[in-house]
Amino acid sequence: MFYHCISRIVDRRFVLGAEEKEKFRALMRIYEKFSGCMVASYCLMDNHFHILLEVPPMKQGGLSDEELLGRLRALYSEAFVAGVAAELQEARRQVGEGVAEERVVVARIHERFTYRMHDLGEFMKGLLQRYTQWHNRMHQRRGRLWEDRFKSVIVQDGTAARTMAAYIDLNPVRAGMVKDPAEYRWSSYGEAIGGGAKGNGKRARAGLVRAWLAHKGVGADAGHWARNVSRSYRALLMAGAVERTTQRGVAGQVEKKVVRKGTKREHVRNPEEEGEEIPFATVLRCRVRYFTDGAVIGSKAFVNEAFAASRERFSERRKDGARRMRGSGAGARDALWTARDLRVGV
C-alpha cells in the first residue's frame, strides 16, 4: 500500500534550510532501512515535506535473527545490536535444550522491535520525533516542531502512484524555486538525477521505479530506471516546458535551458506502455487539495473498495465512496477518483 504523507512546521515557519533538510533526509533513509517501508518519492520544502511511502506487510514467518539484527544496525549502535544478538543466542540455546519455547523467548525479543516495522504510524512517529530532537538541540529550542499529526492519503499503484510521485517532485517548480525539478536537490527526482550511481542516488531511482511500475509487479530495482522509467517520468514532469539545447563554449559542450510557457497538452504519452496515456499534465502544475486531503486516491473501484472497508467512518446516507475531482483536480476526473468532496478554492 502507498501513502502520501504530509506534515508542516508549526505556524508554517520557514525553518528547514540546507542543513536541516540533509539531516531530515538522512533520518528518513535510516528509518526506511529499519522499518522495511520504502520511500518511493519525496520532497523536502522550507516549511513542510511530502513523502510517498510504500508500507508492505511483514513477510510470512517474520524476520530471521540475522535480518532483525541487520535492521537494528540502521538505527542503533553496534554495542546495542551486540547486546540483542547475545540475547537471541541465549534464547536459541534455551530452545535447543528444551528449557523454553521459541514463541516465548525468541518471539518476545523480536516483538520488542518488529511492532515498529511495516507500519505507517510508527515510521512517521519515529522519523518526526528523532528529527525534532535533533532540530531542537541544534537551534536551542524546546517544544513542538510539527503543526499537527501528519496527514496521509491512501494511493493506489499504477496511474495514481505515478501521478502522486510526479506531483511531489514538482513541488519546487510550483513554488517558483526552480524551473527544472532536477535542479532541486532535496527531492526524489533531484537525488535520482544528481545522486550518483550508488548510495542514495541509486535508492532514489529505485523508489521512483517502484512508484512507476509497482502495478506490473516490478520491485524497487534501480536497474529499470534507465531502461523503463527515466524518459517517461521526465516527460510527465516536463510537460508544458520547452527544453532548448544550445552549443557554446568548448567544442562538444552542451547546455540545456528550460523555459516554461504553460502546458498546452492535456496528455503526455507514455512511450513504455503502448496504448496507455498518463493524463492531466496540467493538474500537476497546480496545487490539488485532493492529493493531500482526499483520504483515498485511485480508480473508482479502488476508492469504493476502501470506502467499503471503512464503512463505519461515513454517514449512513452515503451509498458509495468514489467522488469526482473538481477545481484544479478536474483534469484528472476521468482517471482518478477521491474519497472526499472538498470545497474548491479553499
End-to-end CA distance of the chain: 29
* Residue-level pLDDT, tens digit, the chain, 346 residues: 999 999 999 998 999 999 999 999 999 999 999 999 999 999 999 999 999 999 999 999 999 999 999 999 999 999 999 999 999 999 999 998 888 888 889 999 999 999 999 999 999 999 999 999 999 999 999 999 999 889 999 999 999 999 999 999 999 999 999 999 999 999 999 999 987 666 779 999 999 999 999 999 999 999 999 998 999 999 999 875 555 555 555 555 555 555 544 433 333 344 344 334 445 667 788 889 999 999 999 999 999 999 988 888 877 888 888 999 988 888 887 789 999 888 655 4
Q: How many CA atoms lie within 13 A of 304 on its CB side?
A: 7
In 3D space, the residue among 303, 345, 346 whose CA is nearest the CA of residue 324 turns out to be: 303
**Confidence (pLDDT) at 218:** 95
* Grid-cell match 540455546, residue found: 93
**What pLDDT score does 197 carry?**
67
- Helix/strand/coil for 201: helix
Give the three-class secondary structure for 316: coil
- Do 72 and 84 contact (CB within 8 A), yes or no? yes
* The pairing of beta strand 241-247 with beta strand 254-260: antiparallel
The 10 Å Cβ neighbour count of residue 55 is 19
Write out the three cell numbers for 277.
496515456
**Structure confidence at residue 267 (pLDDT):** 37
Residue 198, helix vs strand vs coil: coil
- The helix or strand, by DSSP H or E, that contains position 246, with its residue range, turns out to be strand 241-247
Amino acid code (one letter) for 272: E
What would you measure as the largest C-alpha separation in the chain, in angstroms? 78
Which phi and psi angles does 260 have, rounded to 5°?
Answer: -100, 125
Round to whole Å and give the CA distance between 46 and 284. Answer: 20
pLDDT of residue 164: 96
Signed CA dihedral, 122, 147, 171, 18: sign only: negative
- Rounded Cα distance between 213 and 233, Å, is 11
Q: How far apart are CA 35 and CA 326, in angstroms?
A: 36
- Cα gap 247→251, rounded to integer Å: 8
Pairing relationship of beta strands 296-298 and 151-155 according to DSSP bridges: parallel
Cell 542503533: give the residue.
76
Q: How far apart are CA 30 and CA 293, in angstroms?
A: 27
Cα 144–chain centre separation: 24
Which residues lie below 8 Å from residue 256, measured CB to CB, with a gap of 6+? 243, 244, 245, 246
Query: Within a 13 Å sphere around the CA of 308, how many CA atoms are in the beta-carbon half?
Result: 6
Q: How many CB atoms lie within 10 A of CB 224?
A: 21
